Structure formats: C-alpha cells, structure tokens
Homo-oligomer: A and B are copies of this chain.
Amino acid sequence: MAARDLQERIKKLIIDRRLASGAPLPTEPELMEHLGASRNSVREALKALQAMGIVEIRHGFGTYVGPMSLAPMIEGLAFRTVAGHYRGEDSLLQLLELREAVETGLVSRLAGRMPEADLLELDALVDRMDEQAARGAGLAETDRAFHATLYRGLDNVLLCEVLEAFWDAFHRVRTDLGGEPQDPKVTCRQHREILDAVRSGDSMRAEEAIREHFGNIRARLSTTPPQDPHARHNERV
C-alpha cells in the first residue's frame, strides 16, 4: 500500500517544488525522512520512477529529475513487439502500420508549408543518404534524421518526439530480430520522392510517396519469419 503512495508523493514533490528536468532531488536519506519510509521502499519507488523516465539516478552523484523523454515508451513498445513476435503475432508489422498510418496523415498536412530552411536541411540529408548508399554504409541514422526533420515543420515538439519514439522502437526491434536490410538505393530514391512531393505542395503525391516508402519496408518485413531467440546472442530486448 505504501509503495504506490511513495511514487505519487515523490511525483507530487517534483510538481510542488516546480523542479525542472535536471534539477536535483533529495538524497535517499533525506527522502527516507521526508517520506517516513525505509531506504528500501524509497529505492523501489525511485526505481519505478526511473523506469518511467521521471527520475534519473546517477551512482555516487545523486538523483535528478529525468529528461521526461519518451524513452520508456520506446522500451515498452519494443518489448511488447518483440514478445508478440516470438509468440507468432505480426506485432512488428502492426508497429510499422502504426507509423505508416500516422505519417501518411501528417505528411499531407505539411505539403507546401515547410519552411525553406527545413527543405534545405532535408536536401542535405538525402544527399548524405546517397553518399552513404554509394559507400555501402548503413543509413539508419540518416533515415531517422530525415523523418524527424520532416515533421519538425508541424511545429509540435511532442508530436516529433512521439514519431521519433515510434521510429526508434521499430528500428530497434527490427535490428534485434535480424531483419533483412533495405536496399539503400531504393530507400534513397523514395526519400527524395517524398521530399520532392512535399516541396511541390502536392499533398496526394506526398501521401503516396510515404505509402510507397513504407510499402517497401513492409515487403522486406514479410520475408523474415520469427526466429528462435536462443539462436541469437547478445540480444537487446
């Protein structure tokens, strides 16, 4: 009964003191006294809050208000997807479809409304993709940056974070599961098409470009049947 309360009380403490991300929290002994609980209980509450990204604990240094990022959501989504995958569900496909549904809806909203600066940045990213594809390097990070920059035009930080979280979860699960990598050249071409469509202001074409991009990923996905987790080493779940 006390445990759930402790978490709430620590959260309330953060709210009441208007603590911002990175602000120091009381030390464990101080919290023990303030909350009237044993060290053990305080630590369990902090661990739970840490898992939710509300608190950040640094060994030998102190406890701080966390970055409030969506990292825990990524963690949860990724685990849920991996677990479902190994139990024979098409959870990874669902995650991809989630991204597709949301992104196709959003991209039409920003066709023709992107600031020129962002368009130039996207140009540079696609160029880098080209260069990486030519060298045979992976372009995961560039792909992530492309999608992140694209939706920055919607001017909603939270929205961008959510989309990045979806990207992260999907990417992490796919690499964990040893999915077949994309053909870099095709991926490149598709990103350029998305960018061109958005620049031209043609919503329909932008939607179609996004849909084709995801269709490509989806095709690669369906060729990767569930594997035995024991066969893989050093797995991150």
Q: Is A181 an interface residue (CB 8 A)?
A: no
In terms of DSSP, what is the predominant structure of the interface of chain A? Answer: helix
Chain B residue, CB-CB nearest to A80: B68
Task: Give Cα A91–Cα B230 distance, bound, in whole angstroms.
Answer: 44
Q: Is A137 an interface residue (CB 8 A)?
A: no
Q: Is A70 an interface residue (CB 8 A)?
A: yes
Count A interface residues, CB 8 Å. Answer: 58
Q: Is A34 an interface residue (CB 8 A)?
A: no
Q: Do residues A162 and B83 form an inter-chain contact, with CB atoms below 8 A?
A: no
Task: Give Cα A158–Cα B101 distance, bound, in whole angstroms.
Answer: 11
A142 to chain B: which residues have CB within 8 Å?
none
A87 to chain B: which residues have CB within 8 Å?
18, 20
Partner of A105, one of B19, B20, B84, B109: B109
Q: Do residues A159 and B68 form an inter-chain contact, with CB atoms below 8 A?
A: no
Q: Is A145 an interface residue (CB 8 A)?
A: no
Q: Do residues B86 and A229 form an inter-chain contact, with CB atoms below 8 A?
A: no
Q: Is A108 an interface residue (CB 8 A)?
A: yes
Give chain B nearest CB distance to A187 CB in angstroms. 23
Given A16-B230, A47-B44; A52-B76 close (CB under 8 Å): yes
Contact with B along A103-119 (1 / 0, CB 8 A): 01110110000000000
Q: Do residues B83 and A14 form an inter-chain contact, with CB atoms below 8 A?
A: yes
